[in-house]
């Protein structure tokens, strides 16, 4: 603590020898200094001066990624390394409620982040009345001549990515949303496949016009299913790239992904290559499966997907290094999911996230295996417990006492195994490992917990403080000079 001397007399004296000429000289020197500083470009620290127009905007959305998800992922980083997002110089907090609920869904959350307006849950970039269309920052960027790219680890027509290129009163109209990829004329779509192209979703549409890939090709898009195909596409060619996808059109969880499958970082890196041009670009990248892991209360899968999301963010940082004074990177979430708590009474004032490293497959993958066991009927409870030891480290006898299953837990697993729903067994196994690690969950759905906003690069200083999620889109519109909310 510093103390000012009490009653210190004013020691400043006006020197009579300072002539008017000297004052002008000093003012001129100050002006030169100001010009030199302004043209020196941004530093990793937050920009404090008035920034010039931002040409390159990255908006990363960790779906369901609350502060606890970030901290948990950080605690599981190898060799004491840090996440890239937590090294950003500016941290803000965004409130996530929607127009009609304290707890938002990804439709209303995505609409707020894409348009700067609150809307009702389930709505895709339309006003709360579900009649008026709201312009998105990606559409504004495109109309200013910037290129536009949308990347996600879930289906490309899921609520969050859809909010940037489509408008629909109902997020479940997957087919109608997916066809809007083609009419958007955006330059790049990457990540998951289109759920709208699945037979059940096609049947829901009253305006079926054929398979989505055909519609995209007719609109001039090149389709890439592998990294090699994606790499062969030249910048300036509109492209849609997708990875092997699951029954919901999503990419695999990071912890289940085989090394031959493209990860979120590869889709981001190739997207940057295709979009890079002097007029600039807007790119949204969603870590969509963080949310899905949290819906199934799978802490390990959530943490691994936050890490994969962070690896994609590093691609943007590599780009920022080449254009530091014109690149803005924002990392945030649309809402928290699961009510993830880091600490429980059983563990007291300690937590053992390292125990999660024993989990080798996602809870969803275990549920798929349990479903197969049920189908062929050849796997006994004893054999299932063997698999639990291999994939989760939990066993009736284990070298690490933290992983030894107690009699009551074995009873719980036995009951879950005889349940008809395979998810029950996978859920029970995952819950036990989470409890042992000191991790709790309050819900299988979203919460109203505020989310973090990490910002770096040109204009990032604007993102400090606590504000509504709608302010993020509005700040981007102002900094990139692409328009204002609703216009």
Site map for Zn ion, 376-395, x if CB under 5 A? --------------------
CB of 450 to Zn ion, least distance (A): 16
| 315 lies in the site for Zn ion, by CB under 5 A | no
Count of residues that bind Zn ion according to CB under 5 A = 1
Q: Which is nearer to Zn ion, 291 or 462 (CB)?
A: 291
Cβ partners under 8 Å of residue 448, min gap 6: 96, 97, 102, 103, 104, 335, 336
Kindly tell me the number of DSSP H helices and DSSP E strands found in the chain.
17, 14
195-214 binders of Zn ion (CB under 5 A): none
CB of 64 to Zn ion, least distance (A): 5
- The window from 16-24, 38-46, 181-189, 290-298 that contacts Zn ion (CB under 5 A) reads 290-298
Cβ neighbours around 354 below 10 Å, total: 12
Find tokens 């837990």 and name the residue: 409
CB of 155 to Zn ion, least distance (A): 13
Cα–Cα distance for residue pair 380/184, rounded to 1 Å: 52
CB of 456 to Zn ion, least distance (A): 27
Cβ neighbours around 225 below 10 Å, total: 15
**Residue whose Cβ sits closest to Zn ion:** 291
CB of 177 to Zn ion, least distance (A): 17
Phi, psi of 70 (to 5 degrees): -65, -45
- The window from 184-192, 285-293, 298-306, 462-470 that contacts Zn ion (CB under 5 A) reads 285-293
122-151 binders of Zn ion (CB under 5 A): none
Q: Which is nearer to Zn ion, 240 or 292 (CB)?
A: 292
Q: Give the CA-trace dihedral at 123, 124, 130, 135, to 10 degrees.
A: 150
- The window from 2-10, 78-86, 287-295, 349-357 that contacts Zn ion (CB under 5 A) reads 287-295
CB of 340 to Zn ion, least distance (A): 13
Cα–Cα distance for residue pair 276/266, rounded to 1 Å: 15
Query: What is the greatest pairwise CA distance in the chain?
Result: 100
- The window from 66-74, 160-168, 291-299, 366-374 that contacts Zn ion (CB under 5 A) reads 291-299
Phi, psi of 327 (to 5 degrees): -115, 130
> What are the Cα distances from residue 72, in Å, to 11, 68, 153, 264, 438?
55, 6, 20, 20, 11
Q: Which is nearer to Zn ion, 337 or 384 (CB)?
A: 337
Options 195, 197, 291, 298; binder of Zn ion; rule CB under 5 A: 291
Of 235, 226, 286, 210, the C-alpha closest to 258 is 226
Q: What single string gives the DSSP state of each residue in 410-422?
A: HHHHHHHHHSS-H
E runs forming strands in 205-245: 222-224, 239-242
CB of 85 to Zn ion, least distance (A): 20
CB of 63 to Zn ion, least distance (A): 6
Q: Which is nearer to Zn ion, 61 or 233 (CB)?
A: 61
Q: Which is nearer to Zn ion, 294 or 456 (CB)?
A: 294
Which helix (H) or strand (E) segment is 477 a member of? helix 470-480
CB of 295 to Zn ion, least distance (A): 6
Q: Which is nearer to Zn ion, 291 or 298 (CB)?
A: 291
CB of 291 to Zn ion, least distance (A): 4
- The window from 195-203, 283-291, 376-384, 435-443 that contacts Zn ion (CB under 5 A) reads 283-291
Which pair of tokens denotes residue 60? 């990363």
CB of 74 to Zn ion, least distance (A): 22
Packing angle of the helix pair 363-376, 381-392 (nearest 10 deg): 160
Q: Which is nearer to Zn ion, 112 or 241 (CB)?
A: 112
- The window from 93-101, 161-169, 277-285, 289-297 that contacts Zn ion (CB under 5 A) reads 289-297
Q: Which is nearer to Zn ion, 139 or 291 (CB)?
A: 291
Q: What single string gives the DSSP state of each residue in 241-271?
A: EE----TTSPPPPGGG--TTS--HHHHHHHH
Structural Rg of the chain based on CA atoms:
26
What separation, in Å, do the N-terminal and C-terminal C-alpha atoms of the chain show? Answer: 50
Binding site for Zn ion (CB under 5 A): 291
């Amino acid at each position: 603590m510093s103390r000012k001397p009490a009653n210190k007399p004013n020691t400043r004296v006006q020197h009579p020898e300072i002539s008017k000429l000297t004052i002008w000289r000093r003012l001129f020197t100050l002006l030169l200094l100001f010009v030199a500083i302004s043209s020196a470009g941004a530093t990793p620290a937050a920009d404090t001066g008035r920034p010039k127009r931002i040409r390159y905007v990255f908006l990363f959305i960790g779906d369901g990624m609350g502060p606890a998800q970030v901290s948990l992922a950080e605690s599981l980083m190898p060799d004491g390394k840090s996440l890239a997002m937590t090294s950003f110089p500016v941290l803000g907090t965004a409130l996530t409620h929607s127009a009609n609920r304290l707890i938002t869904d990804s439709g209303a959350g995505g609409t707020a982040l894409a348009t700067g307006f609150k809307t009702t849950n389930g709505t895709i970039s339309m006003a709360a009345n579900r009649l008026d269309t709201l312009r998105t920052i990606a559409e504004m960027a495109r109309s200013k001549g910037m290129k536009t790219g949308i990347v996600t680890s879930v289906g490309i027509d899921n609520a969050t990515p859809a909010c940037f290129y489509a408008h629909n009163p109902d997020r479940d109209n997957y087919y109608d949303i997916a066809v809007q990829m083609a009419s958007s004329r955006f330059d790049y779509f990457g990540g998951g496949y289109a759920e709208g192209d699945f037979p059940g979703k096609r049947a829901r549409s009253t305006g079926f016009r054929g398979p989505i890939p055909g519609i995209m090709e007719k609109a001039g898009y090149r389709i890439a299913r592998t990294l090699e195909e994606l790499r062969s596409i030249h910048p300036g060619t509109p492209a849609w790239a997708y990875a092997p996808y699951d029954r919901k059109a999503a990419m695999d969880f990071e912890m289940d992904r085989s090394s031959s499958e493209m990860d979120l970082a590869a889709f981001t890196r190739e997207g940057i290559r295709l979009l890079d041009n002097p007029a600039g670009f807007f790119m949204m990248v969603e870590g969509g499966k963080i949310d899905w892991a949290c819906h199934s209360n799978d802490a390990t899968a959530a943490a691994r997907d936050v890490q994969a999301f962070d690896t994609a963010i590093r691609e943007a940082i590599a780009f920022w290094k080449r254009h530091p004074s014109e690149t803005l990177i924002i990392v945030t979430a649309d809402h928290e999911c699961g009510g993830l708590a880091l600490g429980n009474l059983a563990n007291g004032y300690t937590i053992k996230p390292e125990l999660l490293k024993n989990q080798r497959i996602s809870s969803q993958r275990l549920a798929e295996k349990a479903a197969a066991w049920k189908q062929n009927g050849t796997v006994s409870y004893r054999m299932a417990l063997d698999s639990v030891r291999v994939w989760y480290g939990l066993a009736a006898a284990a070298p690490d006492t933290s992983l030894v299953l107690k009699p009551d837990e074995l009873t719980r697993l036995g009951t879950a195994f005889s349940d008809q729903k395979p998810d029950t067994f996978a859920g029970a196994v995952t819950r036990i490992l989470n409890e042992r690690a000191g991790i709790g969950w309050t819900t299988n759905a979203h919460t109203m917990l505020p989310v973090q906003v990490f910002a770096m690069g040109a204009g990032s200083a604007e993102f400090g403080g606590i504000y509504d999620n709608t302010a993020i889109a509005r700040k981007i519109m102002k900094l990139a000079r692409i328009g204002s909310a609703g216009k």
